[in-house]
Amino acid sequence: MSVVTASSVPARRPAWVNSEELDQAMAEVQPLLTDFSEADHATLRRLTKRRLRQEIDFISNEKFTSVREGKRIFTQTLGLAPRETAIGIATIRRSGVDLPIHLGRLCEAPLLKPEQERMLFERMNYLLQQAAIHRSVLNPERPSRLRLELIELFVALADWHRDRIVEANLRLVFSIVKKFVNPNNTFDDLLSDGIVALIRAVEKFDFDRGFRFSTYATQVVRRNSYRTVVEKQQERQKVQGGLQDMDIDVSEEERSSAISEKRWHELRSRLSVMLGDLDRREKFIIRARFSLGPHRKVHTLQSLADRLGVSKERVRQLERRAMDKLRAMAGDVQLAELEA
Provide long-range contacts, Cβ within 8 A and 24+ apart, for 77-84: 77/21, 78/21, 78/116, 78/119, 78/120, 78/123, 79/116, 80/112, 80/116, 80/164, 81/110, 82/110, 83/108, 83/109, 83/110, 83/167, 84/108, 84/110
Strand partners, 185: 182
Count helices and strands (H / E) in the chain: 15, 0
> d(Cα 248, Cα 242) in Å, to the nearest integer?
9
Residue 45 contacts residue 116 (beta carbons within 8 Å): no
Please, how many CA atoms are within 13 Å of residue 78, restricted to the half-sphere of its CB?
24
Taken in order of first residue, the domains within the chain and their CATH numbers are 15-235 (1.20.120.1810), 261-332 (1.10.10.10)
Helix, strand, coil share (%) of the chain residues, nearest 5: 70, 0, 30
**Residue 104 carries which DSSP code?**
G
Query: Smallest Cα–Cα separation from 220: which of 187, 193, 243?
Result: 193
Alpha-carbon separation of residue 91 from 81, 139, 164, 176, 271 (angstroms): 17, 49, 18, 12, 41
**Could you tell me how many residues make up the chain?**
340
Bridge partners for 182 per DSSP: 185
3-state secondary structure of 32: helix
Query: Which residues have a Cβ under 8 Å from the Cβ of 156 and sit 6 or more positions away?
Result: 29, 32, 33
Q: Give the pLDDT confidence score for residue 254 in this predicted structure.
A: 45
- Would you write out the chain's pLDDT as a tens digit for each of its 340 residues? 456 676 778 889 999 999 999 999 999 999 999 999 999 999 999 999 999 999 999 999 999 988 899 999 999 999 998 888 787 777 766 766 666 666 677 778 889 999 999 999 999 999 999 999 999 999 999 999 999 999 999 999 999 999 999 999 998 998 899 889 888 888 888 988 999 999 999 999 999 988 899 999 999 999 999 998 988 888 777 766 665 555 555 544 444 444 455 555 566 666 667 777 788 888 888 878 766 666 556 678 888 888 888 888 888 888 888 887 777 776 655 444 444 4
Helix H, strand E, coil C: the string for 156-178 is HHHHHHHHHHHHHCHHHHHHHHH
Indicate whether this model's pTM tops 0.85: no
